[in-house]
A and B are shown apart, each in its own frame.
Chain A
């Protein structure tokens, strides 16, 4: 029950925003969010903005992806170091 799409607020009139979804614009009600401004990115579901998206958080998530994937390399490195210090074969 979760189909929501991000878009950029282009205009606000009363409690209604005109949102640009990339080549297409549609109105979205701002009744469920507060403090939205032109230029913000909002998440829109069933014609309502349900959240203002955080660009800072988005960047952190992209960094998170690298961390999560990078853990593999760290493990490998750890095992390689152990093997070397035990005099075993290097990788």
Chain B
């Protein structure tokens, strides 16, 4: 297999950066909607190389950032309940609920365990049959099939003390919403590479057709991102000259037109698409999942009754606008003063790839 390092070659990067400078001759805004892209752009120091007129915006691509506060509060309530073990990806630990976080609850004695794979929740459930094991189902389409497959495996093994709190979100409905916002100056989408592995590049056709919005599916190595930006800029130039936008695939080694059919089937067996609430943004139609009838026994919402405190939205937080790309972290009056990574007000600051956290870590100091 090809050496991964070839996707980080500096001479090639330099050529692509030169091409980007060549293509930018006025303000251009490109938005990525994937937390891993946010982190990658920052970790590789790519913004430093971009022309100042090119804005690389970070949209609502951080799944823990867009999980409604009431869902976080429900997870916390479950963690506090006796006899319940909460299993979760590490990303969720520090997200602030109305008055606490899972990390804080763990420090106070709640049984909260970080897992790398949802399959580990089945192991916990088997090992502790007298406990109710809840897995926090957060993520986009890269992750939801893994949880769906886990539910199927649990059903196979007859694990009856395992449930999932379904909080998943879908990317394409959010892209439509973003493209339709009034007064927006979005010129193109850097589409999430691994979500696209599952849903396929065909999933973006409606966005291109309805909004004439350039869409390029992009991988995560430095050259992938630079090449994806070049491809988008070439499309932006064409569209501004009256041309038609397209879906393009920079990440062909991992993404096909139809996507991963088997993962899609597993998903549709276990989950039905539903309207869903996005934190600080509001409800987006058909943008989340609920359990299908066949698997409703695995729904932690229905199976485990807990009292959830009334969600208290933090005042002054403009995470919603930041996630929609209309404001920058530095526009927020709380940024780096009241709201800092270890004591965040809103989720954009706490998640390792929330726009504000990434900005705080990587961009705050001017070089």
In the complex they form, do A and B come into direct contact, defined as C-beta atoms under 8 angstroms apart?
yes
- Which residues of A are at the interface with B, using a C-beta cutoff of 8 A? 1-4, 6, 8, 29, 31-34, 41, 43, 45-48, 50-51, 53-55, 57-62, 64-66, 68-72, 75
Q: Contacts A29-B119, A53-B253, A66-B12 given; indicate if A46 touches B194 (C-beta within 8 A).
A: no
Segment of B223-231, B292-300, B340-348 engaged in the interface with chain A? B223-231
A1 touches which of B4, B61, B119 (Cβ 8 Å): B61
State in angstroms the CA–CA spacing of A4 and B194 once bound together: 7
Question: Are the C-beta atoms of A2 and B16 separated by less than 8 Å?
Answer: no
> B149–A60 contact, CB under 8 A?
no
Chain A residue, CB-CB nearest to B9: A65
Rounded to whole angstroms, the CA-CA distance of A57 and B256 in the bound complex is 10
**Given A1-B142, A47-B119, A48-B146: A8 touches B1 (CB 8 Å cut-off):** yes
User: Could you list 4 further interchain pairs (A-B, Cβ under 8 angstroms) beyond the known A55-B253, A75-B22?
Assistant: A2-B220, A50-B263, A57-B253, A69-B230
Determine whether the beta carbon of A65 is less than 8 Å from that of B16.
Answer: yes
Q: Which residues of B lie under 8 Å from residue A68 when comparing CB positions?
A: 16, 19, 227, 230-231
Compute how far the CA of A53 lies from the CA of B139 in the bound complex, rounded to whole angstroms: 22
The residue of chain A having its C-beta at the shortest distance from the C-beta of B6 within the complex is A62
* Chain B residues within an 8 Å CB radius of A64: 227, 250
In the bound complex, what is the Cα–Cα distance between A59 and B186 (angstroms)?
32
User: What is the CB-to-nearest-CB distance from A48 to chain B, in angstroms, rounded to a whole number?
Assistant: 4
Chain B's closest residue to A7 (CB) is B1
Q: Which chain A residues border B37 with CB–CB below 8 Å?
A: 2
Q: Is the interface of B mostly helix, strand, loop or mixed?
A: helix
Q: Which residue of A lies closest to B144 (CB)?
A: A1
Q: Given the complex of chains A and B, what is the CA–CA distance between A32 and B219 in angstroms?
A: 20
Give the residue of B116, B142, B260 whose beta carbon is less than 8 angstroms from that of A2.
B142
Closest 7 CB pairs of A and B: A47-B117, A69-B15, A2-B36, A2-B194, A1-B140, A57-B253, A57-B252
Residues of A within 8 A of B350 (CB): none
Decide if B25 is an interface residue (CB 8 Å cutoff). no
Complex contact B146–A47 (CB within 8 A): yes
Select the residue from B22, B37, B262 with max chain A CB neighbours within 10 A. Answer: B262
Select from chain B the residue with minimum beta-carbon distance to A56.
B253
For the complex, count residues of B whose C-beta is within 8 A of A.
Answer: 56
Task: Report yes or no: A1 in contact with B116, Cβ–Cβ below 8 A.
Answer: no
Subset of 25 A-B contacts with CB under 8 Å:
A1-B36, A1-B62, A1-B192, A1-B194, A2-B35, A2-B36, A2-B142, A4-B197, A8-B1, A31-B152, A32-B260, A33-B263, A43-B197, A47-B116, A47-B146, A50-B145, A50-B194, A58-B1, A61-B251, A61-B253, A68-B19, A69-B15, A69-B16, A72-B15, A75-B22
| Closest B residue, CB atoms, query A33 | B262
B18 at the interface (CB under 8 A from A): yes
Contact of A45 among B1, B62, B143, B262 (CB under 8 A): B143
Shortest distance from the beta carbon of B80 to any chain A beta carbon, whole Å: 26
Across the interface, B2 reaches (CB within 8 A) one of A1, A51, A58, namely A58
Interface centre among A46, A54, A58, A66 (most CB of B within 10 A): A46
Contact A47 B6 (CB under 8 A): no
Residues of B within 8 A of A6 (CB): 1, 4
Interface residues of B in 189-213 (CB under 8 A from A): 192-195, 197-198
Give the docked Cα–Cα distance between A43 and B259 (Å): 13
For B33-74 the 0/1 string (1 means CB < 8 A from A) is 011110000000000000000000000011100000000000
Chain A residue numbers with a CB within 8 Å of B195 are 1-2
Contact A72–B1 (Cβ < 8 Å): no
Within 8 A of A (CB), among B236-283: 250-255, 260, 262-263, 266
**Does B325 belong to the interface (CB within 8 Å)?**
no
The answer to the question of B153 belonging to the interface, with a C-beta cut-off of 8 Å to chain A, is: yes
- A1-B34, A50-B145, A51-B260 known; A72+B18 contact, CB < 8 A: yes
A48–B266 contact, CB under 8 A?
A: no
Interface: B118 (CB within 8 A): yes
- Asked if B22 contacts A72 (CB within 8 A), the reply is yes
CA–CA, A48 to B152, complex, Å?
14
**Most chain-A Cβ atoms within 10 A of its Cβ — which of B227, B231, B252, B254?**
B254
